[in-house]
A and B are shown apart, each in its own frame.
Chain A
Amino acid sequence: MTDRDMIVCRCEEVTYGELVDTAGQFACNSRELKLRTRAGMGYCGGRTCRSLVDAIALAATERDVTQITLKYQPPVRPVHFGDLGAIPND
């Protein structure tokens, strides 16, 4: 196995080759790289691959120190649909 075939985002099965090519072709930031490849958009919310996707995008773009590169969205943990509508009890 080479680096190119190596899976970076396990949830969405995105390879290193796909990420590097996309970043190279569009000189995109992490957010755009995520949207183009779906890396970091799966079940775990990017918990495992976030820093790797970031590193690939940073090769072509500058870091903005005031902006978290891959935005966090609620829910930050997997939740059942049924539980999302819970009513405060405390």
Chain B
Amino acid sequence: MRDLIIIGSGPAGLTAAITAAEHGLDILVIDEYLKPGGRLLGQLYEEPGGNWWNGIEESRKLAGRASSLGLDIRLGISVHNIEQIDGSWLVHADCETFETKSLLLATGAAEAPVAIPGWTLPGVMSVGAAQVMTNVHRVKPGQRGVIIGVNVLSSAIAMELKIADVEVAAIALPKTNQVNGKAANPSEVMNALLHVSHMAPSPLVKMGSKLMTNDFMKRMGITLYPKNGVRMWDIPVMLRKAVIRIEGTDQVEGVTLATVTAEGKIIPGTEEVIGCDFVCIAGGLYPLAELAALTGCPFYHIDELGGFVPLHSEDMRTPLDGLYVAGNITGIEGAKVAMSQGKTAALAIAKDHGQDIADTSLSEAVRQISSTRSDAHIQFHSEVEAGRRKLQEYWEQHAAGMRNVMV
């Protein structure tokens, strides 16, 4: 039996593994992908101040430290079930079952889709898939693409495609229907973008900062927003045009765009077809908490964190004995926050294993999560700190409830 199994070798899982190994724990890391690094592998963007965040380089550094510590990392294996039996955890992977005293879930995030007629054609992919093809496998997803969904992730990936010399004909909204929700509403999208301004296309931010003062101005802003979009790195970002259909017989041949009102209603007679050979769908991210959901761990839906998250404390413990979480499974944030959560989880685990971890080092690690968060250059939701506070309240309520049961 291991001391600790970590599921996920992204920035959270790898940082946790390194920290726990430094404290002498016997660890196994499992990941279903063929390389360590998780979603870090695809990341490439310029931070304010001119530094480049190169995810492949960062992954290599983490994997290098892990291998110098002799860590056992098994790749290409999926975990399909976990269960707690007699005080230890069974981790069921493809053909093997592993046993461990402590289990850290660091499974990251998944992409949500938006649905547009024609989205099942070959050549339509999630924006993350285009990122992995381009930045990890160095394969062009196509010659000329259209991205559906205007958000932080899609604008970051549009720029990565551009760097790889893949043409992005437009980033546009999805059409309004019952499943696309706020992602199809120009005013909502503009609001959301302006609040996470570091990553939003800068001309938009310049224009937007004047508009943030009141609701009337915001409505005016989206009404006056140029129909053909604002150019970001020469890619038109269209907040007043929606893709209403993806065209093609056997594969993607183009998209039909239409102008929409500030609320997202199609203006008849404005349809136009533009040609492309691939389409990226960008509906946002949500915490990939499926394994935690099998354990009976309580869950809460917190919009600011991206969806349902497993209940956990600031030091990454869940209410279940020996079960911990770190990284995007706890809420959608950037890779640096995931790393600081991984470190904190590892310290909490080492402490629970009787290692000599001072309370001050654990609370210092918790503080570092917050400071990393406030310094983060990439933010997926403007109110992420409020989301974290909600979760902390749920945790305290839960802990108080448990104390009442004990009395």
Residues of A at under 8 Å CB distance from B?
1-3, 5-8, 10, 16, 20, 47-49, 51-52, 55-56, 59, 63, 65-69, 71-77, 79, 83, 86-90
11 contacts across the A-B interface (CB closer than 8 A): A1-B117, A16-B115, A47-B110, A66-B300, A76-B79, A77-B32, A83-B94, A86-B95, A90-B1, A90-B96, A90-B97
Which of B144-152, B175-183, B212-220, B360-368 contacts the other chain? B175-183
Tell me which residues across on chain B come within 8 A of A55, comparing CB atoms.
Answer: 178-179, 181
Given contacts A56-B178, A73-B294, 5 further A-B contacts (CB under 8 A): A16-B177, A16-B178, A66-B299, A69-B308, A90-B28
Residues of B at under 8 Å CB distance from A?
1-2, 28, 32, 78-81, 90, 92, 94-99, 110, 112-113, 115-120, 175, 177-179, 181, 245, 283, 286, 289-291, 293-294, 298-302, 308
Tell me which residues across on chain A come within 8 A of B90, comparing CB atoms.
Answer: 88
CB <8 Å contact, B117 and A6:
yes
CB <8 Å contact, A77 and B2:
no
| Cα(A55)–Cα(B289), bound, Å | 19
Q: Known contacts A5-B117, A10-B120, A76-B290; is A89 also within 8 Å of B299 by CB?
A: no
CB <8 Å contact, B112 and A51:
yes
Q: Known contacts A66-B300, A75-B80; is A2 also within 8 Å of B117 by CB?
A: yes
**A to B contact number (C-beta, < 8 Å):** 97
CB <8 Å contact, B115 and A6:
yes
CB <8 Å contact, B286 and A51:
yes
A80 to chain B, nearest CB (A): 8
- Across the interface, A63 reaches (CB within 8 A) one of B98, B120, B177, B301, namely B301
- Across the interface, B97 reaches (CB within 8 A) one of A63, A65, A89, namely A89
Q: Known contacts A16-B115, A76-B80; is A88 also within 8 Å of B301 by CB?
A: no
- Across the interface, A76 reaches (CB within 8 A) one of B81, B95, B112, B120, namely B81
A59 to chain B, nearest CB (A): 6
CB <8 Å contact, A74 and B80:
yes
Q: Known contacts A52-B179, A90-B96; is A65 also within 8 Å of B301 by CB?
A: yes
Tell me which residues across on chain B come within 8 A of A88, comparing CB atoms.
Answer: 90, 97-99
CB <8 Å contact, A86 and B115:
no
